[in-house]
Structure 1
Amino acid sequence: MEFDFLSPVHEDLLDEIRNLNPLAIGANIKLHTERSGMPDLEAVNVAIFGVSENRRAEKKTEAPDFDRLRETFYGLFPGNWKLNLADLGDIRAGATVEDTYFAVQTLVESLIKNDVLPIILGGSQDLIYAQYRAYDNLDQMVNLVNIDRNFDLGDAEKPISSHSYVGKIVVDQPYNLFNYSTVGYQTYYNSQDEIELMERLFFEAYRLGEVTSDISLMEPILRSADLVGLDLGAIDSAALNSSFFKSPNGFNGREICALSRYAGISDKISSFGVYEYQEQLGEQANMLIAQIIWYFIEGVNYRTNENTISAKKEFIKYQVPIDDEVLVFFKSPVSGRWWIEIPFLSNVNTKLKRHTLLPCSEADYLEACNQVIPERWYKAKRKNEV
């Protein structure tokens, strides 16, 4: 694959890589360099690239450079991974923001079609719009999970920004979005109008306190996602040790790494973005972000491929009658994970596949046995009917 808009990894960083322990990630990752060009991606499983674009950020700063983050990540040791990694370098800001979006969309789409999972290191979070648009030609409805303190719905009538890109995703054609979930929102950063709009659209919103009280509840949410975006502003500023992010509340280091691992272990997620990176972030912040990426890759390594038809044939089926409905649950005998079937409406124009399974928890099954319809199932069913 050739992409003229990608800049290679800087030469001075390559000099530092040569001094790494031979077992470190940096000594074993395929690199896009000026001398050797783009690496062969034939056997690559995960590819990292940066995007130096933040012209539509709410808080204007210099376009980020990812060298210090790369240096920190390269110095880590891999787990017992059976994955091949590549670093494709950076997409520099185009003549217009739309040019940058096009480059991101083109690269992500190409990587996904070639079974390479992209990790995007972003400037401003409006780049999720380009990440999402990469699915336009993949003939599927997609679920977007945003780990963020804000919903980022914004005003779709106004120009796109890092706090309004979701509104554009909802209204712009082609319509590929089936579900949008915000993980870790903080009420005082979101207007009541936006909170009510999330309800009316049957989107999912999980407050920070709800998530941190039991982080495992987010595993089914991330298992149902196709793409994930992480706003670094969702992290407690003390965990980042940064004056740029000023929120005293947010995820701590362990919690954000656990969410990242849940995202990685999901068989369905095909792209992952970390956004709002700032060049002035210090050593502690770079180490935490490097560990977030590490945990995502760790999760990818331990995927069980339960999204395949052959794997689903082994699932244990449970039927639960509630009022006029019969809810159909499935449990994997291998991982112990649960799914619930979404009713398929043949007369609705939809890209949803027949007998779509929605990830859920054992608690959802037990509640159904007590005649309580799971909220996620209800919202998914209503979206399919609209």
Structure 2
Amino acid sequence: MADFSHLQDFLNPISKDYLNDDQEYDAFQVGGIIDAYQANHIPDIDSADIILLGVGEERGSDSGKTGTNGPDMIRRELYRLYNWHRDIKLADVGNLRSGAFLADAYAAMKAVVGDLIQANKTVIILGGSHDLTYAQYKAYASQQLIIEATVADALIDLKEDSTIRSERFLMDILTEQPNYLRHYNHLGFQSYFVHPRMLETLDKLRFDCYRLGRIRENMEEAEPVLRHSDLFSLDINIIRHTDAPANHLSPNGFSGEEGCLLARYAGMSSRLTSFGIYGYRAEKDKENLTARQISQMIWYFMDGRAVKNKEALLEHRDAFWEFHIAFSDIDTVFLKSKKTGRWWMQLPDREFVPCAYNDYLLASNNEIPERWLRHQERF
């Protein structure tokens, strides 16, 4: 298990009294249930299922700030919400200490997140700037874990010539050797912000990019993507400005409800072990609405985790409806969970991969689902 005495070297405690203005939390509020690292208390992280980590580092962005109170602003709102899933144990390990240099912050975050995922914990990172995704990825790479990563961002941060790390961190992740990225997905990009050649490059690498409009037409398209991911990184700029006023990038984006749905899908994944929410700038947040939006997304992540805990293993076939389908001279099998309604499809190597109901409909009409083709191309 993770050694908290070792992790303490990288962390600062929080204060529930400060977060709730010296008021007691109700026993059913998140703040009344969560086991938090405070000056007079060490949390029992061995018993926790989900662990919060605050990382207010912004030196990799255009703001250049060493540390912010952004994570505590999100905690303020999150701790006041009522927790409906008391069987899911929550812990909060506090805020990452700011090192002398940005590289120190990356190294500390890599160490903390790495220790926690090695102990089979799910980590929710209350970010800082989006380049911290690089440290999130390094937590897996340091353990030589080959992963699938999904990033939700209105932009695609591949500006190789930029001096701002938050604008080019994807280049660092995709080109670093040795590389531990099995596959990369990008959700919710807005086409007018993205150079067409960026998409061509990612497509040649057999990576999957989903335009904002495509996902909004059918939000269920995002669920199999997140179900198959180990790492999820979300920039708050995917939420439109009216629902997240701290997002000054665009008036367009996912609605607040759709952002919560993406977080719930992530929570439902049995593979996902880290969820980073980045790009929150407290000084730009009107009436703390963005902090409330993020806190509610975290609530829905926990709600999704409760659904995940009810899902049967694929080996337990009695818990699934089984459909044998032939399309384009290919015989395959689709499975539908009796408990959650989620779908899987079988590839020629006999492996089952997550899919959507629409993939089953296409196969039933003798059409090859695009998701099936993309998996085959990567093999």
User: Scaled by the length of structure 1, what TM-score is found?
Assistant: 0.88
The alignment status of 1:333 with 2:328, answered yes or no, reads: no
Question: C-alpha distance in 2, partners of 1:209/1:378?
Answer: 22
Determine if contact 2:230/2:271 at 8 Å carries over to the other structure: yes
| Residue number in structure 1 paired with 2:98 | 93
**Which of 33, 37, 46 is the matching residue for 1:32?**
37
Query: What SS does the corresponding residue of 1:334 show, helix, strand or coil?
Result: coil
The alignment status of 1:175 with 2:179, answered yes or no, reads: yes
- Judged with a 3 Å threshold, the aligned counterparts in structure 2 of structure 1 residues 17 and 128 are, in CA distance, closer, same or farther, namely farther
Sequence identity, in percent?
33
The alignment status of 1:248 with 2:251, answered yes or no, reads: yes
**Which of 343, 348, 355 is the matching residue for 1:360?**
355
Question: C-alpha distance in 2, partners of 1:120/1:377?
Answer: 32
| Residue number in structure 2 paired with 1:44 | 48
Question: C-alpha distance in 1, partners of 2:226/2:22?
Answer: 33
**Which of 131, 134, 137 is the matching residue for 1:129?**
134
Determine if contact 1:143/1:227 at 8 Å carries over to the other structure: yes
Higher helix proportion: 2
The alignment status of 1:19 with 2:24, answered yes or no, reads: yes
Determine if contact 2:310/2:339 at 8 Å carries over to the other structure: no
- Judged with a 3 Å threshold, the aligned counterparts in structure 2 of structure 1 residues 312 and 107 are, in CA distance, closer, same or farther, namely farther
Q: One-letter code of the match for 2:79?
A: Y
| Residue number in structure 1 paired with 2:371 | 376
| Residue number in structure 2 paired with 1:262 | 265
The alignment status of 1:9 with 2:14, answered yes or no, reads: yes
Q: One-letter code of the match for 2:250?
A: S
Consecutive unaligned residues of structure 1, counting only runs of 5 or more, are: 345-354
Question: C-alpha distance in 2, partners of 1:57/1:210?
Answer: 29
Query: What SS does the corresponding residue of 1:239 show, helix, strand or coil?
Result: coil
Q: One-letter code of the match for 1:216?
A: E
Query: What SS does the corresponding residue of 1:143 show, helix, strand or coil?
Result: strand
Query: What SS does the corresponding residue of 2:179 show, helix, strand or coil?
Result: coil
- Judged with a 3 Å threshold, the aligned counterparts in structure 2 of structure 1 residues 118 and 307 are, in CA distance, closer, same or farther, namely farther
Query: What SS does the corresponding residue of 2:341 show, helix, strand or coil?
Result: coil
Question: C-alpha distance in 1, partners of 2:141/2:366?
Answer: 39
Q: Deviations over 1:197-241 (max 9, x none)?
A: 121111111111121122222111211111111101111111123
Question: C-alpha distance in 2, partners of 1:20/1:11?
Answer: 9
Determine if contact 1:318/1:328 at 8 Å carries over to the other structure: yes
Q: One-letter code of the match for 1:362?
A: Y
Consecutive unaligned residues of structure 2, counting only runs of 5 or more, are: none
Within 5 A, what are the aligned runs for 1:1-386? Answer: 1=3, 2=5, 3=7, 4-10=9-15, 13=18, 16=21, 18-36=23-41, 38-61=42-65, 63-65=67-69, 66-136=71-141, 140-155=145-160, 161-242=165-246, 245-280=248-283, 281-282=285-286, 283-304=288-309, 306=311, 308=313, 310-311=315-316, 314-323=319-328, 325-344=330-349, 355-384=350-379
Q: Cα offset for 1:19?
A: 2.6
Q: Cα offset for 1:136?
A: 2.3
Q: Cα offset for 1:14?
A: 5.9
- Judged with a 3 Å threshold, the aligned counterparts in structure 2 of structure 1 residues 167 and 371 are, in CA distance, closer, same or farther, namely farther
Determine if contact 2:62/2:164 at 8 Å carries over to the other structure: no
Q: Cα offset for 1:16?
A: 2.9
Determine if contact 2:77/2:292 at 8 Å carries over to the other structure: yes
Query: What SS does the corresponding residue of 2:99 show, helix, strand or coil?
Result: coil
Q: Cα offset for 1:316?
A: 4.3
Determine if contact 2:66/2:98 at 8 Å carries over to the other structure: no
Question: C-alpha distance in 1, partners of 2:114/2:249?
Answer: 34
Q: Cα offset for 1:8?
A: 0.7
- Judged with a 3 Å threshold, the aligned counterparts in structure 2 of structure 1 residues 270 and 20 are, in CA distance, closer, same or farther, namely same
Determine if contact 1:64/1:277 at 8 Å carries over to the other structure: no
Q: One-letter code of the match for 1:132?
A: Y
Question: C-alpha distance in 1, partners of 2:330/2:159?
Answer: 37
- Judged with a 3 Å threshold, the aligned counterparts in structure 2 of structure 1 residues 58 and 113 are, in CA distance, closer, same or farther, namely same
Task: Decide which moves more: 180-189 or 10-19.
Answer: 10-19
User: Scaled by the length of structure 2, what TM-score is found?
Assistant: 0.90
Q: Cα offset for 1:22?
A: 3.2
Q: Deviations over 1:158-192 (max 9, x none)?
A: 76711222222111123221221111110011001
Q: One-letter code of the match for 2:228?
A: S
| Residue number in structure 2 paired with 1:348 | none
Determine if contact 1:268/1:307 at 8 Å carries over to the other structure: no
Aligned residues: 371
Q: Cα offset for 1:23?
A: 2.5
- Judged with a 3 Å threshold, the aligned counterparts in structure 2 of structure 1 residues 82 and 245 are, in CA distance, closer, same or farther, namely same
